[in-house]
């Protein structure tokens, strides 16, 4: 479903990604872990081209997406993204946040979009918040709305960029529960996270990134239970 | 009651005799016409120049920079006279339209900076969220960035409108009789400076006061999404 070949990314002289090759299958839930500055978020943002790549190729459903010819807007409609800082649209109500993209891109009419929004809000446990503005929500509620917003376009892939890092500790659980139930529904997901317990529990596969490369990968049992690389061991000993 | 008698006399001389109050009525109309054209044009030009200034393309950025630079670097009277007597010298449009265009061109330079600051004040994450949903850059700008930016810059924009309306008091330089010129004319015709000039000030003050109240209401309505 996602095929990455020798991906490199420079910010000026700073080489953030130094050759990443990876295959993510349909329905797979992949957790990306690693220390700050290891390039996890940049890797994720390259997958939907919020960051331009310097070198390498990214294919989604067999289509090369990091070329000038690719219709990036159409590709992004297939890939929902959830951000660390939610990035809800503050001038729109919760429901309008969710229906904006389907309506603007004419994927649904007003009734369909409203129905979809209500379903999604039900699913993330916020059915009663449809008409309020984001400023009246807690962090955990905002992030759940953000997930619903990304799901409104019926994406095939969901990208999560540290979805719980900006939350108060008591709100992390409610967001992780939503992500977990999404994982169980068979959605293809790539999740950059610092929640090791969550990665262990929800992911099919864990990628450990350090200094711009994928240093180690495997099932959660393999990576957490029996890390091969010295740096993986060092990292895990600090965070577990 | 001596002062009242003299007040009555002055009032009669300055405003009633020869229907002089009509000069203010006509002048008010001219000020409004010039201001409305200038305001609309200023917002349009300002928005376009702001987009130029924020563009990826070097040539467009250069256009925007030169425009704001020239507008801010020269007096508005000079701009008005240049546009009226040079640029539109051979165009026979009504004076107030040409004056409105001149003030619009001037205001655009300032409005451009207001728009630019407003657009930049919106967090990058908003653009990223819009683009990640598959919206193109135009849809992201019109549906997500601009509505928020407009709300943020509204008070500053109102301030610019007020400055603009008062700035039109120099249209007398190209022979238009606006509120200011009307007061000036009565002053010269009656050799009485105090009453006509005070009347001029009061008319401007009331006009701007009413505008401020109206804009304040709009601002309040725009802020409804901020209520927690």
Chain B residues in contact with A80 by the CB 8 A cut-off are: 132-133
Determine, for residues B123 and A100 on separate chains, whether the beta-carbon distance falls below 8 Å. no
Separation of alpha carbons A228 and A219, rounded Å: 13
B66 part of a folded domain: yes
Of chain B, the end-to-end C-alpha distance in Å amounts to 59
Tokens linked to B104:
């619009």
In this structure, how many other beta carbons lie within 10 angstroms of the beta carbon of residue B65? Answer: 13
Is residue B1 domain-resident? no
Asked whether residue B202 is domain-assigned, the answer is: yes
Partner residue opposite B148 with nearest CB, options A83, A91, A153: A91
Helix (H, G, I), strand (E, B) or coil at B185: helix
**Mean pLDDT over all residues of chain B?**
93
> Are A81 and B132 a contacting pair at CB < 8 A?
yes
State both tokens at A187.
Answer: 């959605």
Name the phi and psi angles at A126, rounded to 5.
-130, 35
Residue for token pair 């407003």: B118
Cβ-in-10-Å burial (0-12, 13-18, 19+) of B111 comes to: buried
Domain count, chain B: 1
- List, in sequence order, every residue forming a beta bridge with A24; answer none if it has no partner: A2
Q: In order along chain A (240 residues), what is the average pLDDT of each group of 10 residues?
A: 94 92 95 94 95 94 91 95 96 96 94 96 95 95 97 96 94 94 94 94 94 94 93 91
Q: Nearest-CA distance from A41 to chain B in Å?
A: 14
Alpha-carbon distance B111 to nearest alpha carbon in chain A (angstroms): 23
Taking the CA of residue A240 and the nearest CA in chain B, the distance in Å comes to: 31
Residue B212 maps to a domain: yes
Looking at the predicted structure, is the pLDDT value of residue B228 above 60?
A: no
Structure tokens at B213: 């109240």
Q: Report yes or no: A159 and A48 within 8 Å, Cβ to Cβ.
A: yes
| Partner-chain contact A87 B125, CB within 8 Å | yes
Q: Which of A87, A136, A153 sits opposite B129 (nearest CB)?
A: A87
Distance, in Å, from the CA atom of B149 to the CA atom of B152, rounded to the nearest integer, reads 5
Contact residues, chain A, for B143 at CB < 8 Å: 100, 104
Report the DSSP pairing between strands A157-161 and A2-11: unpaired
Residues spanned by the domain of B184: 19-222
B9 part of a folded domain: no
Residues of A in contact with B151 (CB under 8 A): 91
Rounded Cα distance, B144 and A135, in Å = 16
CB contact (8 A) between residue A76 and residue B131: yes
How close, in Å, is residue B128 to chain A by CA atoms?
7
pLDDT, tens only, B205-220: 999 999 999 999 999 9
Q: What is the pTM of this model?
A: 0.85
**Contact list, A150 vs chain B (CB under 8 Å):** 132-133
As a whole number of angstroms, the distance between CA B225 and CA B218 comes to 13
Residues of B in Cβ contact (< 8 Å) with A79: 132
Q: What is the pLDDT of residue B2?
A: 85
3-class SS letters over B66-127: HHHHHHHHCCHHHHHHHHHHHHCCCCCCCHHHHHHHHHHHHHHHHHHHHHHHHHHCCCHHHH
Inside any domain, residue B164:
yes
Does residue B121 belong to any structural domain of this protein?
A: yes
pLDDT on residue B227: 61
Q: Return the number of CB contacts < 8 Å for A and B.
A: 71
Tell me the nearest-neighbour CA distance from B79 into chain A, angstroms: 39
Interface predicted TM-score (ipTM) of this complex, two decimals: 0.92
Is beta strand A157-161 parallel, antiparallel or unpaired with respect to A79-82? parallel
Task: Decide if B4 is inside a domain.
Answer: no
Q: Residue B104 sits in a domain of what CATH number?
A: 1.10.3720.10
């Amino acid at each position: 479903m996602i095929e990455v070949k020798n991906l490199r990314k420079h910010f000026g002289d700073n080489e953030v990604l130094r050759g990443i090759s990876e295959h993510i299958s349909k329905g797979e839930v992949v957790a990306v872990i690693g220390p700050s500055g290891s390039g996890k978020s940049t890797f994720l943002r390259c997958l939907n081209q919020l960051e331009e790549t310097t070198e390498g190729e990214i294919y989604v459903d067999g289509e090369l997406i990091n070329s000038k010819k690719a219709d990036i807007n159409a590709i992004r409609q297939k890939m929902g993204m959830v951000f660390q800082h939610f990035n809800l649209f503050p001038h729109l109500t919760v429901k309008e946040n969710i229906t904006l993209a389907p309506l603007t891109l004419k994927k649904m009419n007003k009734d369909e979009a409203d129905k979809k929004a209500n379903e999604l809000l039900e699913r993330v446990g916020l059915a009663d918040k449809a008409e309020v503005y984001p400023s009246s929500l807690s962090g955990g509620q905002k992030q759940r709305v953000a997930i619903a917003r990304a799901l409104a376009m019926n994406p095939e892939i969901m990208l999560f960029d540290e979805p719980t890092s900006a939350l108060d500790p008591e709100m992390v659980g409610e967001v992780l529960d939503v992500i977990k139930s999404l994982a169980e529904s068979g959605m293809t997901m790539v999740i950059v996270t610092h929640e090791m317990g969550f990665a262990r529990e929800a992911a099919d596969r864990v990628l450990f990134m350090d200094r711009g490369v994928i240093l180690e990968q495997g099932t959660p049992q393999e990576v957490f239970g029996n890390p091969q690389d010295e740096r993986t061991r060092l990292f895990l000993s600090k965070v577990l | 009651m001596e002062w009242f008698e003299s007040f009555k006399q002055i009032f009669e001389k300055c405003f009633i005799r020869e229907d002089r109050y009509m000069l203010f009525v006509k002048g008010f109309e001219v000020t409004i016409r010039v201001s409305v054209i200038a305001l609309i044009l200023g917002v349009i030009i300002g928005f376009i120049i702001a987009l130029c200034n924020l563009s990826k393309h070097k040539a467009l950025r250069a256009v925007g920079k030169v425009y704001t630079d020239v507008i801010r670097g020269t007096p508005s009277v000079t701009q008005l006279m240049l546009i009226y007597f040079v640029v539109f010298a051979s165009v026979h449009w009504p004076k107030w339209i040409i004056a409105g265009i001149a003030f619009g061109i001037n205001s655009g330079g300032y409005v451009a900076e207001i728009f630019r600051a407003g657009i930049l004040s919106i967090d990058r994450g908003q653009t990223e969220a819009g683009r990640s949903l598959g919206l193109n850059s135009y849809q992201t700008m019109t549906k997500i960035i601009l509505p928020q930016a407009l709300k943020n810059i509204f008070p500053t924009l109102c301030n610019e409108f007020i400055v603009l309306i008062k700035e039109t008091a120099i249209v007398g330089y190209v022979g238009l009789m606006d509120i200011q010129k009307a007061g000036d004319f009565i002053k010269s015709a009656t050799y009485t400076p105090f009453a006509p000039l005070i009347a001029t000030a009061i008319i401007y003050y009331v006009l701007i006061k009413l505008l401020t109240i109206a804009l304040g209401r709009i601002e309040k309505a725009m802020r409804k999404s901020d209520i927690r």
